[in-house]
Structure 1
Amino acid sequence: MIPGAARYDVDVSIDETDVERLLEVMPEDVAAPTELTYARNVFVPLTTACRYTCTYCTYFDPPGAASLLSLAEVRDICRRGADAGCTEALFTFGDDPDERYTEIHAQLEEWGYDSIHDYLRAACEVALEEGLLPHSNPGDQTREQMGRVADVNASMGVMLETTADVDAHAGPRRKEPGQRLATIRTAGELAVPFTTGILVGIGDGWRDRAESLLAIRDLHGRYGHVQEVIIQPVRNNERWNGGTPDLATMRRVTAMARVALPDDVSVQAPPNLAPVRELIDCGVDDLGGVSPVTDDHVNPEYAWPALDELRSIADDVGLALTERLPVYERFLSAELRGNGAAANSAADREWVSPRIRAALGEDNDAGERYRRLID
């Protein structure tokens, strides 16, 4: 039983035969992709407050030290990103600040916001005004919370990390896989194009990795909403010295992901954290969001590669490198794609809200920047 699944009424189907099949997968069992994609973004760390205290995470700050960006700061970051040709504003923050973060709650109240999600909505509006499409990753969310912000986001995400109960999630506010899976399910119910992934090396075993990938596949099979799955190694930092998975481990788990997931779900490796040159032949076809403007605030010790380095990686493996939007093209209607293509199974649902559709169609620099990636 997945920890927390019963508490959050999550029922995922994981067949033991599929688990055993994945455990036999090796890199030579998969084919290399035909192209590599990436998104150009800015990283907007809305708040460093988090209810969890995962032992591998340097992002969260304790109560009394956590920060909250002002909307003026958000606007400045987004404006610099738009000037640099970015299309995505990646909003991140720790899961809902709990009652310990009195300063954060007081600041939100002073600024006129009832919750962090109300504030996130305002920040997403700023991003849209400045010519960027929001992609928010606010951690676990209830249906009400996600519904509050879904229409001002082109896509959203949360890392599943693992379906296992691992010591790295230890603490009085322990992260539960069942709650993560409930958030992924909620995104499917609300027709939100979604990014998720697994974190390798935090105490998870090979069976845990297989079950995690199959849980994601099961939820995607019900709703068709998962656009990419990140295979991310944990990295040593000031809070984690438990080691980093070796190359053989990353090659094998990446191949497992490619076999487990449908062809239309991308397998992503973050180029500042994973040895992507050695993973592409294992099925990696996306390099994620890379910023020419901001740091990776979740992993500040590991700098983004320059865009020229991404091109070099693609050249080395003989693949085209294609820039994409934060929402994958298959979730856009034929009208938005601008090429008269018939709707596919994803486009049969209303994946893009009127607010995002309007942004994609605007007759301005931002609209042109978006459309050049989908025309």
Structure 2
Amino acid sequence: MFGADAYGVELTIDPATAERLVSVGPADVAAASGLTFARNVFVPLTTACRYTCTYCTYYDPPGAASLLSPEEIRNICERGADAGCTEALFTFGDDPDDRYTGIYEQLETLGHDSIHSYLREACEIALECGLLPHSNPGDQTREQMELVADMNASMGVMLETTADVQAHGGPRSKEPGQRIATLAIAGELGVPFTTGILVGIGETARDRAESLLAIAELHERYGHIQEIIVQPVVPNERWQEGSPDLETMRRTTAMARAALPDDVSIQSPPNLAPVADLLDCGIDDLGGVSPVTDDHINPEYAWPALRELEDIAETAGVPLSERLPVYEEYVCSEWLSPEIEAAIDADDEAGRRYRALLG
């Protein structure tokens, strides 16, 4: 199903279960008893991407794509640490293809033969600066993820949808099966993982249900999904097809809560989604918010200030608490590498900051 079997992943989505999930609404789920958020810095490692999705403004074409230098990475991370952040969120387009000769020349100059090799160095810089890395490198092979997993507190990739949509089309289109395979690889490697769906890119309600059930099945298999993001597509210079309406977002958010077990958080990004109108739909997390950097993936949509997050929680009548990029239930040797455990246990300012958030 979803072409995932071509990548060695077999999923079975029961049609009747999918139909039942489509009928779920906000009245069928409970509001969360609390809200969480992470304090992070966005580190846009490269704007090169092998894909050309029609809703994405993040990627730049060959010849225009950028690659941060080690000095730039360190500067961003140091600013983040000084502002009390705990997470370095490494974002970039999926592994650049052969068209990006300039990026590969830059990587070679820096002593690297791949973007994943450079990502490992970037994660080392973040740890040195007192931040826990959370990387989103897109589709990955097992070899690629193994190269960087031990240097990350958690990782992620948006599944977006299991449907074949025109917004992913073109000669370099995303394949849902490859996305699912990346989620499965993370589970096999024991990587705490964040994923989610993108709402409004041409998928149907049934497609959303099947996407959520695919994630649920992978979590049941491996136990590694720590949170799901329910994110609406938003208008930008490349996407003028509008955003999903409020009713769609309310029903989809409730579907996500119903599809996943309680130990998987449901995140609604407050700079993109109408969070105040979704508080009764089961969300319990507001995602990573940066006091230092822009949302480089959606630069036209500014992060809310901490005071605004507090207002959201006050409206819901629930407490707001800060968390690490890796959820507390995954902070153990079963899930974390020795490098990340050592950073959390360190007798320094960063380690004490991490442990304070863990209680």
TM-score clears 0.5: yes
Match of 2:310 in 1: 311
Q: Which runs of 4+ in 1 moved over 4 A?
A: none
RMSD: 0.7
Match of 2:252 in 1: 253
Structure 1 CA distance for aligned equivalents of residues 108 and 132 of structure 2: 27
Structure 2 CA distance for aligned equivalents of residues 217 and 250 of structure 1: 19
Match of 1:358 in 2: 342
**2:125 counterpart SS class:** helix
Match of 1:344 in 2: none
Match of 1:368 in 2: 352
**1:237 counterpart SS class:** coil
Post-superposition CA distance 1:86-130 (Å, at most 9, x none) = 000000100000000000000000111011000000000000000
TM-superposed CA distance for 1:8, in Å, is 1.0
**1:282 counterpart SS class:** coil
Match of 2:170 in 1: 171
Post-superposition CA distance 1:194-222 (Å, at most 9, x none) = 00000000000010000000000000000
Structure 2 CA distance for aligned equivalents of residues 301 and 214 of structure 1: 32
Q: For structure 1, which runs of at least 5 residues remain unmatched after alignment?
A: 334-348
Structure 1 CA distance for aligned equivalents of residues 23 and 174 of structure 2: 29
Structure 2 CA distance for aligned equivalents of residues 15 and 218 of structure 1: 11
**1:39 counterpart SS class:** strand
**Pairing 1:142-291 to 2, within 5 Å after superposition:** 142-291=141-290
TM-superposed CA distance for 1:293, in Å, is 0.3
Structure 2 CA distance for aligned equivalents of residues 354 and 72 of structure 1: 26
**2:36 counterpart SS class:** strand
Q: For structure 2, which runs of at least 5 residues remain unmatched after alignment?
A: none
The number of equivalent residue pairs is 359
**1:281 counterpart SS class:** coil
Match of 2:328 in 1: 329
TM-superposed CA distance for 1:316, in Å, is 1.1
Structure 2 CA distance for aligned equivalents of residues 101 and 20 of structure 1: 43
| More moved, 5-14 vs 263-272 | 5-14
The residue type paired with residue 13 of structure 1 is T
**2:68 counterpart SS class:** coil
Match of 1:340 in 2: none
Structure 1 CA distance for aligned equivalents of residues 220 and 138 of structure 2: 22
TM-superposed CA distance for 1:20, in Å, is 1.3
Structure 2 CA distance for aligned equivalents of residues 120 and 310 of structure 1: 31
TM-superposed CA distance for 1:318, in Å, is 0.5
**2:313 counterpart SS class:** helix
TM-superposed CA distance for 1:15, in Å, is 1.0
The question of 1:52 aligning with 2:47 is answered no
**Pairing 1:22-33 to 2, within 5 Å after superposition:** 22-33=21-32
TM-superposed CA distance for 1:7, in Å, is 2.1
TM-superposed CA distance for 1:233, in Å, is 0.2
Structure 2 CA distance for aligned equivalents of residues 317 and 152 of structure 1: 36
Structure 2 CA distance for aligned equivalents of residues 262 and 15 of structure 1: 17
Structure 2 CA distance for aligned equivalents of residues 110 and 7 of structure 1: 36
**1:126 counterpart SS class:** helix
TM-superposed CA distance for 1:24, in Å, is 1.1
Structure 2 CA distance for aligned equivalents of residues 235 and 198 of structure 1: 13
Structure 2 CA distance for aligned equivalents of residues 60 and 351 of structure 1: 32
Structure 1 CA distance for aligned equivalents of residues 149 and 5 of structure 2: 26
The residue type paired with residue 255 of structure 1 is A
| More moved, 23-32 vs 181-190 | 23-32
Q: Percent identity of the aligned residues?
A: 73
**1:296 counterpart SS class:** coil
The residue type paired with residue 241 of structure 2 is G
**1:373 counterpart SS class:** helix
The residue type paired with residue 360 of structure 1 is I
**1:6 counterpart SS class:** helix
**1:139 counterpart SS class:** coil
The residue type paired with residue 28 of structure 2 is D
TM-superposed CA distance for 1:6, in Å, is 2.9
